[in-house]
Structure 1
């Protein structure tokens, strides 16, 4: 019987070592999972549906933004995201719509007072002129619309293609940079292609 006790004592450290390794291995896997979960996208602090945001100056509404879904993230650089798209209306002093903007995605950086519209961005002014692009920035402080990507502007007389664009926020005055071509709508023979 003493012999069995000695055998048990010799095996105990071996079992203890195997058990310790199993526990440490399982903890290591759990730590890896925790690291992966920590890298996941931060969750919004607020979420709303069918949101309407009004931007005003001196008690006059200048811009109205509507979004089916709006998520607000509160971090070092807070922002709101409109993952299901947006519609924006730019008003004059008489509350008449001067232009409207639609996009499939939007994000607004609160501190910079800058909103970006992406994917199928369309801006139409009161004259019926239309801008199409995949990325547009609305600089709220400067009251400008900007893009450094491909743009297409359709007027009643022509279609203009270019890379880069700048306009006032109601899209009544604009400049196209790096014009790639123009198509005359009234007379296709007059089209020019630089």
Structure 2
């Protein structure tokens, strides 16, 4: 009987002790869970928090079912939750346009680029360089490409190198193929073998007016 009572007493205390430990563990876990929840809470800024990141990007882009462009970028960030969703290329971008035989016929590059999908607008910044369909080279520090309006424009210094001459000015507007364009506040035309402005060489009238229209303007559309 003594042994039986001893075992009974031991079981009773054992159950009580185990129950107490379980309750303490549950309370401790609940407390820790609450603390962790407070730590991970952060403010989400959709305008400055990207929803996708890609590196060493090479992408082929189709137009009417035909591959027309190839895009290369070291880093591509997508801000898909922003009020006006946009793409950001912080380390530059290079785009080639192909002909029907997949030969490069035009290209564009810049140090930094933005693209707003809803607007159909590209903004290219820093050492922007364009090789056009006609073989002309365009250089500027800022360029906009409005795909909906099918035009390219800038309000910054522009340098256009043709086969035999260089044209410079402040402000520029063109069709998106860059085959017909206007230069605002033209600084003149210089022979390609002497790019240094010289009063004896400056020709303020552009020879080929069917391609280039020199115009004055107080301002140019900017975003």
Provide TM-score, normalisation by structure 1. Answer: 0.71
Q: Any conservation in 1 of the 2:186–2:204 contact (CA below 8 Å)?
A: no
Q: Which residue in the other structure is 2:123 paired with?
A: 116
- The size of the alignment, in residue pairs, is 160
Q: Which residue in the other structure is 1:67 paired with?
A: 73
Tell me how far 1:127 sits from its aligned partner.
4.3
Q: Any conservation in 2 of the 1:116–1:135 contact (CA below 8 Å)?
A: yes
Q: Any conservation in 2 of the 1:99–1:170 contact (CA below 8 Å)?
A: no
Q: Give deviations 1:93-113, integer Å, cap 9, x for gaps.
A: 443322111110000011111
Q: Which residue in the other structure is 1:23 paired with?
A: none
Distance in 1, Cα, partners of 2:146 & 2:158: 18
Aligned CA distance change for structure 1 residues 116 and 79 (closer, same or farther; 3 Å): same
Aligned CA distance change for structure 1 residues 161 and 128 (closer, same or farther; 3 Å): same
Q: Which residue in the other structure is 1:11 paired with?
A: none
- Secondary structure of the 1:63 match is strand
Name which of 53, 56, 59 aligns with 1:47. 53
Query: Runs of 5+ in structure 2 lacking a partner?
Result: 1-42, 206-223
Q: Which residue in the other structure is 2:109 paired with?
A: 102
The root-mean-square deviation of aligned C-alpha atoms, in Å, is: 2.7
Query: Runs of 5+ in structure 1 lacking a partner?
Result: 1-36
Distance in 1, Cα, partners of 2:193 & 2:72: 36
Tell me how far 1:126 sits from its aligned partner.
4.6
- Secondary structure of the 2:69 match is strand
- Secondary structure of the 1:136 match is strand
Q: Which residue in the other structure is 1:170 paired with?
A: 177
Q: Which is higher, the Rg of structure 1 or of structure 2?
A: 2
Aligned CA distance change for structure 1 residues 168 and 96 (closer, same or farther; 3 Å): farther
Alignment partner of 1:192 is 2:198: no
Distance in 2, Cα, partners of 1:141 & 1:61: 20
Q: Which residue in the other structure is 1:7 paired with?
A: none
Tell me how far 1:89 sits from its aligned partner.
1.1
Distance in 2, Cα, partners of 1:172 & 1:60: 22
Q: Any conservation in 1 of the 2:161–2:192 contact (CA below 8 Å)?
A: no
Distance in 2, Cα, partners of 1:95 & 1:174: 26
Alignment partner of 1:153 is 2:160: yes
Q: Which has the higher strand share?
A: 1
Distance in 2, Cα, partners of 1:163 & 1:143: 21
Name which of 78, 88, 111 aligns with 2:85. 78
Distance in 2, Cα, partners of 1:94 & 1:174: 27
Q: Any conservation in 1 of the 2:171–2:184 contact (CA below 8 Å)?
A: yes
Tell me how far 1:50 sits from its aligned partner.
1.4
